[in-house]
Amino acid sequence: MLDAREIYPLSDFQRNARQFIERLQESHKPIVLTVNGKASVIMQDAESYQKLLDEVELARSAATIRQAMTEVAAGKDRDAVEALEELRLKYDIPR
């Protein structure tokens, strides 16, 4: 969650980029940079960003698995050999 105390003007970041980057790397908390008083960008250290991407990928995978399990339970599954044979015939793929 974003901390309302971690909102800074872009001009402050430009003047003190090194200190901001060090703070980001130590705290692992994102900051909001504003332009003309409006939120413009979120800055985050690379390690925390990668962790976020990994968590999103895990959540997507779990959702896909849940959907597949629901389809199997509803009888919407197909035999893989039959499905592949159908694709082979449809796209005229030789054996």
Which residue range forms the structural domain that includes residue 16? 7-44
Q: What distance in Å separates the CA atoms of residue 74 and residue 92, rounded to the nearest whole number? A: 31
In a domain, 95, yes or no: no
At 95 the pLDDT is: 85
Whether the pTM exceeds 0.85: the reply is no
Domain count, the chain: 2
**Are 55 and 27 contained in the same domain?**
no
In a domain, 1, yes or no: no
**Are 53 and 86 contained in the same domain?**
yes
Angstrom CA distances, 6 to 31, 69, 82, 86, 91, stand at 5, 42, 57, 57, 56
**Are 37 and 59 contained in the same domain?**
no
**Are 34 and 54 contained in the same domain?**
no
In a domain, 2, yes or no: no
- pLDDT tens per residue across all 95 residues of the chain: 777 789 999 999 999 999 999 999 999 999 999 999 999 999 999 999 999 999 999 999 999 999 999 999 998 888 889 999 999 999 999 98
The number of helices, as runs of H, and strands, as runs of E, in the chain is 4, 3
